[in-house]
Chains A and B, each alone.
Chain A
Amino acid sequence: MTDGNGPTTERARPRRLALWRTTTFRLTAIFVLIFVLFAVSLLGYIAYQSSILIQRQQLVDIERELGQLNREYQLGGTRALVLAIQRFARGPGPGIYFVADPSGVGIAGNVIDVPISVLEEPGQHTFAYERDRPSFGDEDPNRPEARGMALVRSFVLPSGYRVVVGRDIVERRSFAVIIFQAFFWGVIGIIVFSVIAGAISARRVLRRIDAIGATSRMIMTGDLGQRVPVTRRNDEFDGLATSLNAMLDRIEQLMQGMKDVTDNVAHDLKTPLTRMRNKVEAALRDDRDEDAAKRALESTIEECDHLIKTFNALLMIARVEAGTPASAFEQTDLSAVANDVGELYAPVLEDAGLDLKVEVPESLSLRANRELLGQALVNLLENAIKYVPRPDKGHSTVTIAAREAGENVILEVADQGPGIPEADRERVLERFVRLEKSRTEAGSGLGLSLVAAVAQLHKGRVEIDDNHPGAILRLILPRQTGETAA
């Protein structure tokens, strides 16, 4: 666990997520599929349209040649027609020509035979044909293939001769095949490219997620110090990692707090319990003196009460730190709280030889939990009573002050006692911390912890300052606490 970060552990750990199961990869796959479907339908449409276009062009060509043949026939009769057909048939190109006598026997052309149905019925036909090389025309190596499909028009001359003119359509089809092939390879290329791109980006995402998973597993095994790595890309994963880390910080802080509390509870509650047990045991052993037994019992109850108070204080801090529901927040007049608590404590302070001054404005309102603010102020005052020695001569004043400071409201208690050394100022807010010289004093060491917890609940903080001489304990609370907490 000590060297448990970086790529070493990442490789050592089995991969939990398969590449193809990642969201990124699936999304890529879906997009590729949609794209392919789109491309295929586009291809089909283009092929269909171009095929129609070519057919139309072929029909126009056929019509034109028919017109030519017709003119030859008008001018020179059957003989001129047959000669013209022979001339056409010898020429290069995809043309198909055929002329038959009235009985249907072929007399000229470049195909071996034409089905009788084509000859009988004038009009447009499609049929399979075979080129006739040996009988008509020369050997031409560039001639189109010997077999194919033909699109033809046939008609019957007044003399009973039948003329068939057409075009080979295999060529037209091969054009469609070329288009299709181009699309096919294009689509294959896109699929391959997208799968690779999808896999790469899925892998990158996977690596980030695996890093988070690895961190969480390490945390689950008990290493709370682990944090999710944050890159410099500042992307959504870094955003997520940052919030996760903030959450982990908070959890670790709470766990540490819990651990400290447990340790301190163990120490600070065991001591009085042991003392109590010893006392009761001693009283039990000494069964002759009833008065002593009664005294022991009474002091046991006192110890019990003290323990209960400590417990209550602990529970209260825990509850406050966990955050009480905002329903307990109400519009509170801090000046009234300061005046009330001041008035409550003035006699006690006076008995301790301290003067109390309350310096607050007419009213100072904020959304807060009045009870907890009161309790915090009481704790601050009791802190002053405990640690400020009775002055030998002259006056020692404790001042409660409240005022506004921009967005914040400040409540402070200033005394003229020994003050708190700068090095200890953080520490005194922790639970059960009592500064060495005051260890002998009564008290649980929880008073200021509660003040800190109350400040935290109100989204504020506690500041400790020097009063030259003495200490100033200052609660700084944002005015709008209630709204943000709600």
Chain B
Amino acid sequence: MKILIIEDDRDAASYLMTALDEAGHVTHHAGDGDTGYAMASSMDYDVLIVDRMLPRRDGLSIIESLRAENNKTPVLILSALGEVDDRVEGLRSGGDDYLTKPYAFSELLARIEVLARRSAPAEAATSYQVGDLSLDRLSRKVTRAEEDIQLQPREFRLLEYLMKHAGQVVTRTMLLENVWDYHFDPQTNVIDVHMSRLRSKIDRGQDNPLLHTIRGAGYMIRD
């Protein structure tokens, strides 16, 4: 993936670039708002990582301008401000996701990979298939190897989200945000407990587990 990082903190930017390089992505860097906007509007990127507070031009105005030019490149906003209002403001300006500093790199990586995929038009699928597990969004039926699996409504949404992002790492925070629509950090292992229940329903007694825990990052469903 080709990623543009617009971030004025040199250390933070170079750390991000190194880490993303290691993860196999191509990164460009802009150190201020004007340069960032010029690069973002003149070149094709898969994802933009934009810091909110930048010299010369703030992050939100860059995003607004890009969106006004019909540039639909997914944007992840990075910010030291983490309150509900700031998040809402960020997303309203046209950002696709919002991450508060300090963040774990695994969280950022998981989010940009999901973002890059989101721009592909797989959005409207009515059913998902991972290995012998299938989920039908219309009839709300889940089957594994032809056998029906009974899920609670919330478990269904959890699985739906995981399968929509099959093959990608999904973090606990992403699950809390997308399945429960809350943006705080739960202090205990709340999500893990839900995941272990879901796992027991879909992977129990199977030779080939689909639901994987990615250490230090989150979860992934894959064949």
Bound state CA distance, A369 and B184, in angstroms?
A: 13
A136 on the B face (CB < 8 A): no
Cβ of A105 under 8 Å from chain B = no
Minimum Cβ distance to chain A for residue B84 (Å): 5
Flag whether A222 is at the interface (Cβ < 8 A): no
In the complex, what residues of A have CB within 8 A of residue B188's CB? Answer: 348, 382, 385
Do the beta carbons of B85 and A328 come within 8 Å of each other? Answer: yes
* Interface size, A (range): 20 to 34
> Would you call A351 an interface residue if the criterion is a C-beta within 8 Å of the partner chain's C-beta atoms?
yes
* Contact (Cβ within 8 A) A312 B84: no
- Chain A residues contacting B100 (CB-CB under 8 Å) are 312
A378 to B187, CA, bound (A): 9
Q: A347 — which chain B residues lie within 8 A by C-beta?
A: 190, 193-194, 197
Tell me if A308 counts as interface (CB < 8 A to partner B).
yes
Question: When the two chains form the complex, which single residue of A309, A343, A374 contacts B187, counting CB atoms closer than 8 Å?
Answer: A309
Instruction: Find out whether the CB atom of A305 lies under 8 angstroms from the CB atom of B180.
Output: no
Alpha-carbon distance A372/B83, docked complex (angstroms): 10
The reply to whether the CB of B25 lies closer than 8 angstroms to some CB of chain A is: no
- Report the bound CA distance from A89 to B191 in whole Å: 130
Contacts A347-B197, A371-B182 known; A315 to B82 CB distance under 8 Å? yes
Cβ contact within 8 Å between B189 and A378: no
In the complex, how many angstroms separate the beta carbon of B11 from the nearest chain A beta carbon? 16
Q: A324 near B: Cβ within 8 Å?
A: yes
Total interface residues on B, CB under 8 Å, equals 23
Interface residues of B in 91-116 (CB under 8 A from A): 100, 102, 104
Is the pair B83, A374 in contact by a Cβ cutoff of 8 Å?
no
Chain B, interface SS category: loop
Interface flag for B149 (CB, 8 Å): no
Interface membership of chain A positions 447-467, coded 1 if the CB is closer than 8 angstroms to chain B and 0 otherwise: 100000000000000000000
Residue pair B88, A328 in contact (C-beta under 8 Å): yes
Tell me the minimal C-beta distance from A159 to chain B in angstroms. 115
Nearest residue (CB) in B for A307 is B102
Task: List residues 316-363 of chain A with CB under 8 A from any CB of chain B.
Answer: 316, 319, 324-325, 327-328, 340-341, 343-345, 347-348, 351
**Chain A residue nearest to B184 in the complex (CB):** A375
**Contact with B186, one of A312, A316, A325, A378 (Cβ below 8 angstroms):** A378
State the Cβ distance, A33 to closest chain B Cβ, in Å. 57
- CA–CA, A351 and B195, complex, Å: 13
Q: Residues 140-182 of chain B: 1 if any A CB is under 8 Å from the residue's CB, otherwise 0?
A: 0000000000000010000000000000000000000000111
How far does the alpha carbon of A371 sit from the alpha carbon of B100 in the complex, in Å? 16
What residues on B are CB-neighbors of A378 within 8 Å? 182, 184, 186-187
Binary B-proximity of A374-387 (CB < 8 A = 1, otherwise 0):
11001000100100
Say yes or no: is B222 at the interface (Cβ < 8 Å to chain A).
no
Please name all residues of chain A whose beta carbon is closer than 8 Å to the beta carbon of B184 when the two chains form the complex. 371, 374-375, 378
| Besides A375-B182, A447-B187, 16 other A-B contacts (C-beta < 8 A) | A309-B187, A316-B82, A324-B84, A325-B85, A340-B182, A343-B154, A344-B190, A345-B190, A347-B190, A348-B188, A348-B189, A351-B193, A372-B84, A374-B184, A378-B187, A443-B187
User: A residues touching B (Cβ–Cβ < 8 Å)?
Assistant: 305, 308-309, 312, 315-316, 319, 324-325, 327-328, 340-341, 343-345, 347-348, 351, 369, 371-372, 374-375, 378, 382, 385, 443, 447
List 5 contacting pairs A-B, 8 Å CB cutoff, sorted by A. A324-B83, A344-B182, A369-B84, A378-B187, A382-B187
B contacts, CB < 8 Å to A = 82-85, 88, 100, 102, 104, 154, 180-190, 193-194, 197
